Amino acid sequence: MRGSMYVAVIITLPFAAWSDEGMWTIDNFPSSRVSEKYNVDVDEEWLRSAQLSTTRLENGCTGSFASGDGLVLTNNHCTWGCIQNLSSDKRNLSDEGFIAKSREEELQCPGQQVSVLVNLDNVTNDIANTIGGLADAEANEARKAKLTDLESACEEAAGDKLRCEAVSLYNGGQYFIYTYKRYDDVRLVFAPELDIAAFGGDPDNFNFPRWCLDMSFLRVYEDGKPASTPNYLRWRESGPQDAEPVFIAGHPGSTDRLFTTSQLKMLRDDVIPLWLLRYSELRGRMLAWKDTSPEAARIVQQRILGIENGIKVRRNQLKALHDDEMMAIKADQEAQLRKSIAADPELQLAYGDAWNLIDNAIQAHQNMYEEHLFIENSAALNSELYGYARTIVRGVAERERPNNERLRAYTDAALPQIEQRLFAARPIDKNYEKLRLTFSLDKMREWLGPDSKYVHRILGKESPESLAASLIEDSRLDDPAYRESLWKGNEKELKASDDPMIQLALAIDPDARALRTRYENDVEAPRVRGEEKIADARFRIYGTDTYPDATFTLRVTYGAVEGWEEHGEMIDSFTHTNRLFERTTGQRPFSLPASWSRAREDLNPDTPFNFSLTTDITGGNSGSPIVAGDGTLVGLAFDGNIHSIAGDYWFNQDNNRTVGVNTAIILEALKVVYDADHLLDELTVVQ
Amino acid sequence: MRGSMYVAVIITLPFAAWSDEGMWTIDNFPSSRVSEKYNVDVDEEWLRSAQLSTTRLENGCTGSFASGDGLVLTNNHCTWGCIQNLSSDKRNLSDEGFIAKSREEELQCPGQQVSVLVNLDNVTNDIANTIGGLADAEANEARKAKLTDLESACEEAAGDKLRCEAVSLYNGGQYFIYTYKRYDDVRLVFAPELDIAAFGGDPDNFNFPRWCLDMSFLRVYEDGKPASTPNYLRWRESGPQDAEPVFIAGHPGSTDRLFTTSQLKMLRDDVIPLWLLRYSELRGRMLAWKDTSPEAARIVQQRILGIENGIKVRRNQLKALHDDEMMAIKADQEAQLRKSIAADPELQLAYGDAWNLIDNAIQAHQNMYEEHLFIENSAALNSELYGYARTIVRGVAERERPNNERLRAYTDAALPQIEQRLFAARPIDKNYEKLRLTFSLDKMREWLGPDSKYVHRILGKESPESLAASLIEDSRLDDPAYRESLWKGNEKELKASDDPMIQLALAIDPDARALRTRYENDVEAPRVRGEEKIADARFRIYGTDTYPDATFTLRVTYGAVEGWEEHGEMIDSFTHTNRLFERTTGQRPFSLPASWSRAREDLNPDTPFNFSLTTDITGGNSGSPIVAGDGTLVGLAFDGNIHSIAGDYWFNQDNNRTVGVNTAIILEALKVVYDADHLLDELTVVQ
């Protein structure tokens, strides 16, 4: 499938001018390149408008303002957590969908936060000055302390409702402080039924042609009232044209395109296989447990889809990393860069050891990978109640220390978000908790071995089943008031708690912190130093006309509505309503909700439904607005095709496609299927 | 862990003279090498005696005769199928164990067969003459037809109760006809409780130190009476000495040491990951289903252990194949061989294209891997009832054809075994059947995609759940009489059957056969031809003092009782009873049966329990006798240590160890725990 032209070009030019590759920061957007290729003028104002009308959902998604009253368009799958938290055995908002007929009926999403980027400040020099001359481990600590100080200074200067976050771009090539306006009262306005939002379920996930109404509306509130959001997008009624240039603003979560070949190899041989084995088994346990009762099915329905999504992503990541041709290109690029460095004594002195630093870090990581994963990263204790316990135990201890000496997750800048999540009332199903905790304790024993000191410390003479049962039954951490009281107390009070989950978290913490320290010194410190060196070398040799790996910060990408060739046949860029009904079998995940079956005759069979486009996005972009050159919203990004998963490592213009929901079907569905005239009235729809 | 000496030696000598490597055929055993290293004289008579006292269990294991009355010692885990088939919701022989107080109480194992190799006949020249000058695909067909003819001729000459099977050794370097005496009335005599037979369960599987009484006794019958088996082993009461030379005769199932690097890479990148993903999920489904009722737990208890064993094997196979150092050695060996071939024009002409043939086969296989696996290899239809249906549908059609034009699985030589299994009365749990069929249909849709023609043909508008439910509910193939009646009918009668599983098997068969033909012509034919060429070249360049990959045929391996070094510490070669009781937690899989708890004070704490040895074995050797130089039985092979799994690809003397049960603990347990004096009396025990 991969054409030779693509292969040739990527070898000689790191970022091919003619391709739509790149998740660009707004301060370095390639406007002239876009103007040349697509004849669209993306100026400062255009970018500023995109910035202010795009939102980050703090659960890992993107959204866009759809009205001046805080209405946010995002994906349905970005609101599954909220829908779960608002559902009960009496009311299944996932199966039934939800529509607030008035603002009074809008339901607050527990713990949900929405942010808008309002400022960005380059602090690369501050960091360089701070770590200059320090050994790797000291530099690692000093770098973090400085970032914490910079965040604090920013928040003090910014005042209420603004939050400051340090960002590393280009794997340490640049450091920024990003300032966000953050909304912490977020309410559910509208969500279609899961059967149409995720029509085709896991089998169709990452597939195209596709028919998903994967959209929801949220609304951000301030002081109990809908927030005023003057920067919002007008919607185009007809959606995009075929071949039309389009742009996506959003928060892509993570890519590894700047990884060294040795880092990719560790992903391929260690990280991804272990993840896949664990989650394939958990998927199986959840699928079998789902059949034990309707309530169990309700609890795990969307969680299973989430795991299945992760499995499909990782097995296609693995497939990509087994592509010898692409890996050879990566190796060639790396060899070219190292050759360029070696050719210049000054560069060689400054950057020549970068790959050794990273390889040492990998070796150290492989020597502790399972222990660090299961104990410090809590893979042994897959439980929301344990997550609360760990947060409380760490937070209460860390708060006692000076801000810039704390673990970065517990700095003053981070505490409000922690508390928002910790104090939110969310339903916890104890049977499901037992299922996942039993599973993860069992995997700990499997991967660390029954004679591991960590396994002995955690299990003692218990089995995974018996320990999980007693921990979950006896813990009171499902009560938000109890969590709040523990959080607000001191370490002595915490140690006096009789909650078994708290006691377990306290008992493991010394082991976990020891593993963390070892990881920071032996893995993180040399890796970050090595990555910084490579980033600097790339800037000096290739210039700054490049984009950084995704970091869940605002990016803009460009492209066009376009299909692709698969096994010699062209895939059309649009799907239409008629084939949705043809694809229906009556059996999940290919069954339609009653509302759609009823509306069949009233829906225009020719309405465009989903579409594919050449933009370069990844997970975290879910819910991103797809905007035309004229600034109108024409679609809503919700997925990529199967080839887009390789985009974690490289962008292939030939077949990497974004998949979006057309504004045409959203508007028609709101009108014909859901009678949501009050929402249509709130939108600004143009022809 | 791997010493440099090992690495150096294996590069220069394919089979290092000083190592205990090799699963040797009895017609090519390296007696002089053994005599030199261990000062034990293994002559023809010794080998003949090992041959006749060693049995093959047709469910994939080995055993040995323990008396002249047909008593067979094997592993407990080799009798799980029998124990399952003889258990019910009223009587759980797995949890309770089983001891026949008299021969009348011995219980027939449904479908179980036991074989003894009585003759072997080299037919390599017949095959070479048959396929000489033919193109690959024609050669492939002619080779199979000839093997079928040779089997038929052998059976005609041999008479009743003898069965003839073609065997390919050295990946096509040699062809043999092996003749077996086959017993098809096999009865369960004694089995300890699962809790002691598999003490430590999956966590301790492939671990050592170890405490498992993984043994059972079966008995072969002829004409309703215990068979006369004059070739049996005397047992040594004290077990082996540390460092004592020992031998294992048995039927190792499969190794891939002669694979090309490209074949290993396909295993690593395609075959093993797909298997692991599928079976990890099935494991999860079974673990969650197990908790739904005590009866569900009884049904899947041992099946889960079986799957967990497979997962541990394959994830350590994957780990071995990710060992870059060992893979580089493999690549070097291959390069050396190719260089030797290329250096001689005659060899180059005869064998130079062997690797291209295999690489073409791999390419063709990768292009159809999932379709062939799910449709022709039935991975889509993981169900015993479907297995019956497929056997009946194929068998009834194939029987109509001349013997040497049939699929090899349905030749006259194969039919008795098929019928033995098809007609045996075995309990089928329909709920468990639904679980696994739902799972496998779901995986078919996941891997082939919802738009695959095969998926449409099988699922239609059904979901995996709904189709599995109706197929299993409505099929009558759980009735042996119904199976027999269909089998004995003709194709027309079969097509008239209203059994939905039969109808499904009939409907898929044309697709499946088309995939099979494509596989045979494009994958098997060039691969076998390429492998034959490499095998011939190796014989010509390296000579014949080598052993073939394992093929579930009789092999003898040698070594010594020995521990190994792990993370700088020596692992003792013996464990003793005292630490079994220390390891007990009271929670499965570390709980003891009541019989052992009761007997604790009467058991000698110093009795040797399990032990490790340097012999080169693999799966299929389970149940193999461990024999000292004097011919006495000193142990029972039941496992390897974790490093032994890499033995599929290479043998590492430093850490590859067999794990066995000591005859000392077997004898003591029979006496003290089980009061089985009648069995002890039957054995011939020497000091």
The interface predicted TM-score (ipTM) is 0.95
Q: Which domain CATH number covers B654?
A: 2.40.10.120
A8 in B contact zone (CB under 8 Å): no
Provide the terminal-to-terminal Cα distance of chain B, rounded to the nearest Å: 38
Using DSSP bridges, classify how beta strands A216-222 and A71-74 pair: parallel, antiparallel or unpaired: antiparallel
Residues A126, A31 share a domain: no
pLDDT of res. B590? 98
The pLDDT score that the predictor gives to residue A255 is 97
Strands (E), B233-311: 235-236, 245-250
Chains A and B form CB pairs within 8 A to the count of: 106
Q: B156 and B69: one domain? A: no
CA distances, B187 to each of A13, B53, B227 (Å): 72, 18, 11
Same domain? For B124 and B215 the reply is no
User: Above 60 in pLDDT, residue B5?
Assistant: no
Pairing of strands A633-640, B71-74: unpaired
B269 touches chain A (CB under 8 A): yes
Task: Give the three-state DSSP class for A65.
Answer: strand
Q: Is residue B664 part of a domain?
A: yes
Residue B18's pLDDT band, with cuts at 50, 70 and 90, is low
Which residues in chain B have their CB less than 8 angstroms from residue A292's CB?
292
A566 in a domain, yes or no? yes
Provide, as residue numbers in chain A, all residues whose Cβ is less than 8 Å from the Cβ of B588: 463
Mean pLDDT across B159-173: 92
Q: Which residue of A has its CA nearest to B308?
A: A446
Res B481 pLDDT > 70: yes
Is residue B381 located within the same domain as residue B493?
Answer: yes
A446 has a chain B CB within 8 A of its CB: yes
Q: Which of A183, A213, A240 is the last residue of a domain?
A: A183
B359 touches chain A (CB under 8 A): no
CB contact under 8 A, A282 and B284: yes
Chain A residue with CA closest to B436: the answer is A288
**Over residues B30-41, mean pLDDT:** 95
Looking at B545, B580, B600, the residue that finishes a domain is B545
CA–CA distance, B323 with B439 (Å, rounded to integer): 33
Does A96 fall in a domain? yes
Strand B555-560 and strand B245-250: the pairing is antiparallel
A474 and A576 together in one domain: no
Residues of B (578-637) whose Cβ lies below 8 Å from A: 585-588, 590
Beta pairing, strands B235-236 & B685-686: parallel
B426 touches chain A (CB under 8 A): no
Kindly tell me if the per-residue pLDDT of B17 is higher than 60.
no
Q: How many domains does chain B have?
A: 3
How close, in Å, is residue B331 to chain A by CA atoms?
Answer: 16
* Interface membership of B461 toward A (CB under 8 Å): yes
Using a CB-CB cut-off of 8 Å, the residues of chain B touching A446 are: 202-203
Q: Is B1 on the interface with A (CB under 8 A)?
A: no
pLDDT at B2: 29
A126 in reach of chain B (CB within 8 A):
no
The verdict on A581 and A449 lying in the same domain is no
Residue B139 lies in a domain: yes
Asked if residue A424 belongs to a domain, the reply is: yes
Query: Which residues in chain A have Cβ-Cβ distances shorter than 8 Å to B317?
Result: none
Q: Rounded to an integer, what distance in angstroms lies between the CA atom of residue A273 and that of residue A280?
A: 10
End residue of a domain, out of A183, A209, A232: A183
Cβ distance A461 to B269 less than 8 Å, yes or no, reads no
Q: Is the dihedral of CA A558, A559, A560, A561 positive or negative?
A: negative
Query: Does one domain contain both A620 and A540?
Result: no
Closest residue in B to A583 (Cα–Cα): B461
Which member of B284, B435, B586 has the closest CB to residue A283?
A: B284
Q: Does B318 contact chain A (CB < 8 Å)?
A: yes
Beta strand segments in A583-678, E = 608-613, 625-628, 633-640, 658-662
Which phi and psi (to 5°) does residue B174 adopt? -140, 150
Chain-chain contact of B281 with A284 (C-beta, under 8 angstroms): yes
Where would I find the H helices in B497-654?
Answer: 500-519, 525-542, 577-583, 594-599
What's the confidence (pLDDT) of residue A18?
61
B571 reaches A (C-beta below 8 A): no
Give the chain B residue nearest A200 (alpha carbons): B450
- Same domain membership, residue B168 and residue B206: no
What is the distance in angstroms between the Cα of B445 and the nearest Cα belonging to chain A? Answer: 7
- Residue A231 in any domain: the answer is yes
Q: Is A202 on the interface with B (CB under 8 A)?
A: yes
Task: Tell me if chain B has a CB within 8 Å of the CB of A316.
Answer: no
- Domain span at residue B435 reads 364-545
- Is B643 within a domain? yes
Give contacts of B369 with chain A, Cβ < 8 Å. Answer: none
Which residue positions in chain A have pLDDT lower than 70?
1-18
Shared domain check, A566 and A533: no
- In chain A, which residues have their Cβ closer than 8 Å to the Cβ of B276? 273, 276-277, 280
* Structure confidence at residue B19 (pLDDT): 87
Distance from first CA to last CA of chain A, Å, rounded?
Answer: 38
A631 shares a domain with A597: yes
Q: Which residue of A has its CA nearest to B282?
A: A284
Is B170 in the same domain as B244? no
On average, the pLDDT of chain B sits at 95
**CA dihedral in degrees (A398, A399, A404, A409; nearest 10)?**
60
Question: Which residues make beta-bridge pairs with B557?
Answer: B248
Q: How many CB atoms lie within 10 A of CB B148?
A: 23
Instruction: Judge: B288–A283 Cβ closer than 8 Å, yes or no.
Output: no
Whether B370 and chain A come into contact, CB under 8 Å, resolves to no
Query: CB–CB of A315 and B284 under 8 A?
Result: no
d(CA B560, CA B660): 12
Closest residue of A to B586, CA-based? A461
Query: Which chain A residues are within 8 Å of B446, Cβ to Cβ?
Result: 202-203
**Does the residue A410 lie in any domain?**
yes
Residue B11: what pLDDT? 36
Measure in Å the smallest separation between the Cα of B466 and chain A Cα atoms.
Answer: 8
Q: Do B286 and A288 touch (CB under 8 A)?
A: yes
**Residues B500, B403 share a domain:** yes
Burial class (CB in 10 A: 0-12, 13-18, 19+), A265: middle
Would you say residue B230 has pLDDT above 50?
Answer: yes
